[in-house]
Chains A and B, each alone.
Chain A
Amino acid sequence: MSAPELPLSAPLNVGFDYTRSVGPVLGRFVNALRERRVEGVRGSDGRVHVPPLEYDPVTAEALSEFVPVASEGEIVSWSWIAEPLDGQPLSRPFAWALVKLDGADTSILHAVDAGSPSGIHTGQRVRIRWAEETVGHIRDIAYFVPADGSDTEPTEAPPPVAKREDGAPVSVVITPIHLKYEHSASPEESRYLRGLAEGKLIGQRCPSCEKVYIPPRGACPTDGVPTTDEVELPDTGIVTTFCIVNVPFLGQKIKPPYVAAYILLDGADIAFLHLVLGCDAADVRMGMRVRAAWKPRDEWWTSLENIGHFAPTGEPDAPYESFAHHL
């Protein structure tokens, strides 16, 4: 017996723009940053908070008394990052620091371009290095530099925010988020995906309830045990239910109208979503017999995309009672 194959895995990159409305307090702060000014807010105990807080941390009272503060201040504490990570303010080694700006009583977290750990200490005076283009976002503060030093060379930071129209008030901030993962399929899913690369449809049977799942499951949702016994299924089945897509959307590959349908393969107990093409959308119906239309063999890989779509076989429809419990 050969050693079990490792599950399939692949990089998964997730990206989206977080778009958030700022409200009156953070709005005032980011609009000031855009003009290369810093504003804090006075708390109910008299302390000036920078960045400003919407609600007092002691009394929870709404805060609204804005106070301009300096763009220079001193380091309260710091740590060193020897190998900067994606998206951080500097791409060369730098310090993260809490900086208390002159006129403020609380401190702001930001980056300090200090060269090496020996170039930074608590109590050190630092000043803001502004981004070349300010748009109303925390990253209008590119990073801090020692107050008595000359400007350091700008490092190429990733574009932090979406640009906006000149003059428009800043009411939202947009932050692109990019995350990288190594995504793994379960051992059962991996068997199925490797089968597809050979043109096989491999389901697995739950050892407890004997239902056949395709794709197979890491655990049977009825019994909570992994599916185990392998079952090779034919590429024929029926449409259990379907919808006609009439609406165009971003990334759409087929011109509407077309049919997305749940296909129940012969011998399976669970339907999966695929396309039904090869007939007029209006002719697709529940119980219709269909067969896989495979792409040319040299395009096969570990994906259900190997089946381009399902097409009607022309056989008589399956009676409703035969699939009613699979809906």
Chain B
Amino acid sequence: MPDVAVVGFAQAPNVRSTPGTTNGVEMLVPIFAEVFERTGLSKEDIGFWCSGSSDYLAGRAFSFIAAVDAIGAFPPIHESHVEMDAAWALYEAWLKIRMGEVETALVYGFGKSSAGQLRRVLALQMDPYVVAPLWPDSVSVAGIQARLGLEAGLWSEKDLAEVAARSRADAASNPAAQFSGTAEVADLLDAPYFADPLRAHDIAPVTDGAAVLVLASAERAADLVDSPAMITGIEHRVDSPSLGVRDLTRSPSTAAAGRALDLDGVELAELHAPFTHQELILRDALGLGEQVRINPSGGVLTGNPMFSAGLARIGEAASRILDGSARKTLAHATSGPVLQQNLVATLEVLS
């Protein structure tokens, strides 16, 4: 089976809101052009297209169909879609190349979170019988998770503020980040609660955005870029959708995905943690030690475009290999307010 590499990544600026449409065309057209320029590929060279987005975010049915206009889908193309973060669309595209059906694939995700009330819309990600009809907003549900760890002594409010401060400082080197800057932990802790025990700095911002990533078989990748980022492992797992069944201070599905991979020698990790405490849960689940640099891009606490943020984590982790600054990286994507579904990938320099 052919190995698969990431050969290109681009993302739209992460912003609080755009005047654009919910089909993402305005954000996608420029970043498609960007990855084509970087890889030297054209749309005719792409064997398979796959996207991730959500009708609930757009407020209309089959909203991903209109986004296909951004491709210029004539002559007809091979195309698919997942109603999830585009990290899972990447998984589908990875399979297509592994199966030998195509040599290249383009994966994209987009979402205009600002069109609706994000934390309320996300209630519909949860169990439709006994949870979603109560409209529990995603921030409140994550707050319940955060308190469990606080009261068990697994982390403190200061630990959480330190995650936020580090993320903001790191985002300064990420031109796509929604915001960045220096923040004193003490100042952050002076802020009022947004959803006790969570403060604003504990919560990823509402963000509009889009991302695109190009995959190629190892053989093809070597012709396209100097140092392709080989996907040496990719795994995804789910936990019970019943919130009260598992210990919410842990992420068994992330741990299981990580165990199925070889994480030895990982230099940096891009973790999809929309809440500060979730970064600590994920680090623990993946067994990432102090030597592993976490979220050098600033992570989603500095910009969390729904349905492309997970794909962007893979894109950021791949970019550190494409630009020669790392030899082995890890990327993680999640779905659900308390880390219900998790995908983990490792990326390495082509040997």
Contact = CB atoms under 8 A, between A and B. Distances in A.
B242 A79 contact: no
Nearest to B244: A107
Contact of A109 (B134, B142, B147): B134
B45 interface: no
Given A122-B151, A185-B21, A219-B29, A175 B132 contact: yes
29 contacts: A14-B59, A26-B129, A26-B130, A49-B244, A53-B242, A57-B245, A77-B148, A77-B151, A78-B147, A79-B197, A80-B143, A80-B195, A87-B120, A106-B242, A117-B196, A139-B133, A160-B133, A161-B133, A173-B129, A179-B120, A179-B121, A183-B22, A186-B25, A187-B26, A218-B69, A222-B73, A223-B72, A224-B32, A225-B29
B140 A96 contact: yes
Interface of B: 19-23, 25-26, 29, 32, 43, 56, 58-60, 66, 68-74, 114-117, 119-121, 124, 128-137, 139-148, 151, 193-198, 240, 242-246, 248
Contact of B244 (A80, A109, A160): A109
A224 B142 CA distance: 39
B134 A111 contact: yes
Contacts of B59: 12, 14, 179, 181, 183
Nearest to A98: B244
For the complex of A and B, the 8 pairs showing the least CB-CB separation, nearest first, are: A224-B72, A79-B143, A107-B244, A218-B25, A80-B196, A181-B59, A57-B240, A222-B74
A98 to B, nearest CB: 5
A81 B116 CA distance: 19
A100 B143 CA distance: 17
Contacts of A77: 144-145, 147-148, 151, 248
A138 B144 contact: no
Interface in A41-98: 49-51, 53, 57, 76-82, 85-89, 96-98
A79 B140 contact: yes
Given A26-B130, A98-B243, A185-B21, 7 more contacts: A12-B60, A49-B242, A77-B147, A79-B141, A80-B140, A82-B195, A175-B133
B134 A81 contact: no
Given A80-B143, A108-B130, A111-B134, A85 B120 contact: yes
